[in-house]
Amino acid sequence: MMTVYLNGQFIPLEEARIPVLDRGFIFGDGVYEVIPVYSRSPFRLPEHLRRLQHSLDGIRMANPHSDSEWAQLIQQLVEQNEGEDQYLYLHITRGVAKRDHAFPSPPVPPTVFMMSSPFPAPPSALLRAGVCAVTADDNRWLRCDIKSIALLPNVLLRQIAVDADCAETLLLRADPNKPGTRFMTEGAASNIFAVSNGTLLAPPKDNLMLPGITYDVILEIARANDIPHEVRHISADEVFGADELLLTSSTKEVLPITRLDGQPVASGEPGPMFGRMHALYQEFKREVMRK
């Protein structure tokens, strides 16, 4: 049985109820976080809480809790659920009010919801063979840095991959500075790195992608281990010609993309950058958990 947190109470999932006029339900007016928990300890919590604050600022909502309150609530929820490793979902909406696009005035209490499930460790077959991806035009809004619960564009984009029996959709956006060309922003629910001639290429963190917590860890690892890397726009041509493509997210960690739009990525096998990054990421996690 899963215990969830809803507006101050820890209750069984089956008993959690939200009024239909919640602005999350009506407008998708809210933000969220997904935090991996290893050995019952949230991974990179300060970074997740900083991103949560950025998302709340982006939608002009007050943070209902201080970081130490969040840390306590999260720890309590983790203790009440099964699994040493979990992934915790945290969701805040602008609350319940008469349906009107304008913010409720005066403000109403936000809806705060959290749940935590056993961590779905990426199957080793995926690590050995890699996953396939497809590309699509990035037709989302211009504030992809906000972790908004309004995920319809991401849902539709991800489904393109699912319909092709693939794991992810790589998003390519038209480059306003170079008409007729596109650059890669991220995946429908992940960040994407390319590898070219031994250099790890990362798209810059801007308003067109979610600043991934795993993305930051990968770049930290690259810096600490003198792995050549560049943070810059990656053109669609570079994506299709890459030696390797890596997918990162809190729940997928690091995965190799070995097929793109039905064609093998280079040899079609996970490459050396993936092998090294995956090993270093696991080491990084163990190191953090020991502290």
Residue 247 C-beta: closest distance to ligand PLP, Å: 9
Residue 147 falls in the annotated catalytic set: yes
Sole binder of ligand PLP in the list 55, 191, 229, 234 (CB under 6 A): 191
Specify whether the backbone of 77 is left (phi greater than 0), alpha (psi in -120 to 50) or beta.
alpha
250 binds ligand PLP (CB under 6 A): yes
Exactly one of 98, 147, 178, 252 is catalytic; which is it?
Answer: 147
By rule CB under 6 A, what count of residues binds ligand PLP?
14
Rounded to the nearest 10°, the torsion over CA 165, 282, 33, 171 is: -40
3-state secondary structure of 18: coil
The contacts found for 62-69 with CB under 8 angstroms, 24 or more apart, are 62/107, 62/110, 64/92, 64/109, 64/110, 64/112, 65/112
In this chain, which of 32, 190, 208, 234 binds ligand PLP, going by CB under 6 A?
190
Tabulate helix, strand, coil % of the chain (nearest 5): 30, 30, 40
Residue 254 within binding range of ligand PLP, rule CB under 6 A: no
Between 126 and 155, how does the x/- string for binding to ligand PLP read (CB under 6 A)? ----------------------------x-
Binder to ligand PLP among 208, 249, 256, 259 (CB under 6 A)?
A: 249
CA–CA gap between residue 257 and residue 116 (Å, rounded): 28
Angle at 241 between CA 239 and CA 244, to 5 degrees: 70
- Based on CB atoms, which residue is closest to ligand PLP, 88 or 132? 88
Does 34 engage in binding with ligand PLP (CB under 6 A)? yes
Residues forming contacts to ligand PLP in the complex (CB under 6 A) are 34, 154, 186, 189-191, 210, 212-215, 248-250
Which are the catalytic amino acids? 147
